[in-house]
């Protein structure tokens, strides 16, 4: 079969959980029903690079139901749920993903998801963090300037990517120009992936149109906040089953994800401190009754550290050298560069003990002075590395937006820039989820619509929505 998964015999279990998920993903199911007849994605090849979970399997089946030919890989080496991948493979959709991939395997899976049986690439891409988009862009750069592929990578992962691209260049020179020329567009799931797209667009390097799904309100103000509120402590508890009440927790970054994380830890009755660079977010944390300080200030007392910035070098090796004995360090940001794992491993005399394997990675690092810290998911996003990520309902909001974005790319000839989805669609996604809570909207009268200066049928919040 044109797939690579851990264990196909898990397909039945995956199917059972997919059936459960369909009842908890009302928006995605409604979008699927609305467009199943029209099949707006008919004849289109779609590649996905997005955590291969039960919820993503529902998205994949929706895209297939709308007519697409789909191939899929995960966007993280630890986030695949093997029974979800098995269920998708069992119905004949090519998927290349398993929990605990090596970096070489991960990038080979991404390449295979981008390569259809006739050797062609996708018409459209669903990306989460931008790795599929990056592989195409670096491939094109290498075809324009072969020295780009023979340079020294800045990390182990870059070396893996460059080695893969050199192999492809040898096998099929000009492959990536052909692939890039056929891509109609990419819909990007997450904050960090959007940052990458915006930088490429600003530098005039964007090779195809992009839709910023993350900044639909019904994505980032739900998935990033309420999804992390649900799944952060799930990951920490599955990793170490530690009591969080009364502990000093440090959340680095108080954006959407950080807000969800802080609330989750407060719900566990931890004492939460936030670190921030942005005065507005810092002030929000103060107004939420949280202490705002720095990582350095918290080192003598911090018990649990969570990075949620989308930035790099947040928790350094020097920080971890000075942490309390038995401190717990984890990341929930998209990439694994928020915690300096490579430099931690290079500390002279460090002793590394694996507590749990790739099912829920937990490592103990013991320093020469005898104190130890615990690192979860090898510094990769802990909610998907040590738990199952966000629940169905929250991902229904995100993936309703993803599906609508893919339909937009299919129907419109977009320019090579980064688009938002219109506010009307955002409110429609919200509407599709209200019935699940027996919520009833109030009807706006024409007089009231005129009074606040909106159309009777919406959109309603004229200004940018701020949490
Ligand atoms: P955001 O931009 O809303 O928030 C990031 C915050 O970090 C900002 O307030 C920023 O001021 C702050 N920050 C940046 N550098 C900092 C530093 N050096 N020290 C302290 N604070 C700093 O982004 P977000 O939507 O909250 O996403 C954060 C990360 O989480 C991104 O990588 C995103 O892709 C990822 N994400 C992960 C999940 C998940 O399920 N694991 C879900 C959604 C998003
Ligand atoms: N993400 C969190 N939980 C997820 C799940 N159960 N399935 C798929 C993806 C999941 C990550 C998303 O929050 C993604 O939108 C992001 O990283 O922003």
Report the mean per-residue pLDDT for the chain. Answer: 97
Q: What mean pLDDT is predicted for residues 341-357?
A: 98
Going by C-alpha positions, the residue among 99, 65, 94, 82 that lies closest to residue 12 is 82
Q: Which DSSP helix (H) or strand (E) runs through 292?
A: strand 291-292
Which pLDDT belongs to residue 1? 80
CB-CB contact of 393 with 25 (8 Å): yes
Q: What mean pLDDT is predicted for residues 124-153?
A: 98
Which pLDDT belongs to residue 463? 58
> Which of 190, 280, 284 should be mutated for ligand 1, with most atoms under 8 A from CB?
190
Residues 6 or more apart from 105 whose CB is under 8 A from it?
77
Q: How confident is the model at residue 461 (pLDDT cuts 50, 70, 90)?
A: confident
Whether 467 shows a pLDDT value over 90: the answer reads: no
Which pLDDT belongs to residue 462? 56
The label of the residue with tokens 């990419």 reads 186
Please confirm, yes or no, whether 12 is among the known catalytic residues: no
pLDDT tens digits for range 320-344: 999 999 999 999 999 999 999 999 9
Share of the chain above pLDDT 70, in %: 99
Going by C-alpha positions, the residue among 314, 263, 308, 315 that lies closest to residue 290 is 263
For 114-239, where are the E strands, in sequence order? 124-127, 185-188, 210-212
Strand, helix or coil for residue 352: strand
Q: What mean pLDDT is predicted for residues 301-326?
A: 98
Which pLDDT belongs to residue 242? 98
Residues with CB under 6 A from ligand 1: 190-192, 220, 223-224, 227-228, 252-258, 275-278, 281, 308-311, 314, 332-334, 381, 383, 389
CA torsion angle 299 301 306 309 (round to 10):
-50
Q: Which ligand is nearest to the CA of 310?
A: 1
Distance 332 CA to ligand 1 centre (A): 9
Ligand 1: which atom is nearest the Cα of residue 192? Answer: 34
Active-site entry in 49, 55, 69, 74: 74
pLDDT tens digits for range 12-34: 999 999 999 999 999 999 999 99
Q: How confident is the model at residue 416 (pLDDT cuts 50, 70, 90)?
A: very high
pLDDT tens digits for range 217-231: 999 999 999 999 999
| Measured distance CA(373)–CA(353) in Å, rounded | 11
Sign of CA dihedral 433, 436, 437, 438: positive
Q: Which DSSP helix (H) or strand (E) runs through 55?
A: helix 54-65
Q: How confident is the model at residue 465 (pLDDT cuts 50, 70, 90)?
A: very low
Share of the chain above pLDDT 90, in %: 96
Which pLDDT belongs to residue 466? 46
pLDDT tens digits for range 242-264: 999 999 999 999 999 999 999 99
Active-site entry in 4, 51, 83, 408: 51
Active-site entry in 219, 259, 408, 433: 219
Q: What is the reported pTM?
A: 0.97
């Amino acid at each position: 079969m044109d797939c690579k998964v851990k264990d196909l015999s898990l397909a039945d279990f995956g199917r059972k959980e997919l059936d459960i998920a369909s009842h908890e993903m009302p928006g995605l199911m409604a979008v699927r029903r609305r467009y199943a007849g029209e099949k707006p994605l008919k004849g289109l090849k779609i590649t996905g690079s997005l955590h291969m979970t039960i919820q993503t399997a529902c998205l994949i089946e929706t895209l297939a139901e709308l007519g697409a030919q789909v191939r899929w890989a995960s966007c993280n080496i630890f986030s695949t749920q093997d029974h979800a991948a098995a269920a998708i493979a069992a119905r004949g959709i090519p998927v290349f993903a398993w929990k605990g991939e090596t970096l070489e395997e991960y990038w080979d899976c991404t390449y295979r998801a981008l390569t259809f049986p006739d050797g062609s690439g996708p018409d459209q891409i669903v990306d989460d963090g931008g790795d599929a988009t990056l592989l195409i862009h670096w491939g094109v750069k290498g075809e324009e300037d072969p020295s780009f592929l023979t340079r020294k990578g800045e990390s182990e992962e870059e070396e893996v990517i460059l080695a893969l691209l050199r192999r492809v260049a040898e096998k099929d020179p000009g492959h990536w120009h052909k692939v890039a020329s056929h891509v109609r567009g990419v819909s990007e799931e997450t904050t960090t992936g959007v940052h990458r797209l915006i930088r490429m667009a600003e530098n005039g390097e964007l090779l195809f149109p992009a839709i910023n799904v993350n900044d639909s309100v019904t994505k980032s103000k739900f998935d990033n906040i309420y999804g992390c509120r649900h799944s952060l402590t799930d990951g920490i508890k599955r990793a170490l089953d530690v009591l969080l009440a009364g502990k000093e927790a440090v959340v680095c970054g108080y954006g959407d994800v950080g807000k969800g994380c802080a609330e989750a830890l407060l719900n566990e009755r931890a004492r939460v401190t936030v670190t921030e660079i942005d005065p507005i977010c810092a002030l929000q944390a103060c107004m939420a009754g949280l202490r705002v300080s720095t990582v350095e200030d918290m080192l003598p007392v911090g018990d649990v550290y969570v990075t949620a910035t989308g930035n790099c070098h947040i928790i350094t090796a020097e920080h971890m050298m000075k942490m309390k004995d038995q401190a717990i360090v984890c990341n929930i940001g998209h990439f694994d560069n928020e915690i300096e794992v490579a430099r931690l491993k290079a500390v002279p005399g460090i002793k590394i003990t694996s507590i749990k394997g790739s099912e829920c990675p937990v490592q103990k690092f013991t320093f020469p002075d005898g104190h130890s810290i615990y690192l979860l998911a090898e510094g990769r996003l802990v909610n998907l590395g040590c738990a199952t990520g966000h629940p169905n309902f929250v991902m229904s909001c995100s993936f309703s937006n993803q599906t609508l974005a893919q339909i937009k790319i299919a129907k419109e000839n977009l320019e090579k820039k980064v688009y938002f989805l219109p506010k009307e669609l955002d409110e429609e996604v919200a509407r599709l989820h209200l019935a699940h809570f027996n919520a009833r909207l109030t009807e706006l009268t024409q007089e009231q619509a005129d009074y606040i200066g909106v159309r009777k049928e919406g959109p309603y919040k004229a200004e940018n929505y701020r949490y």
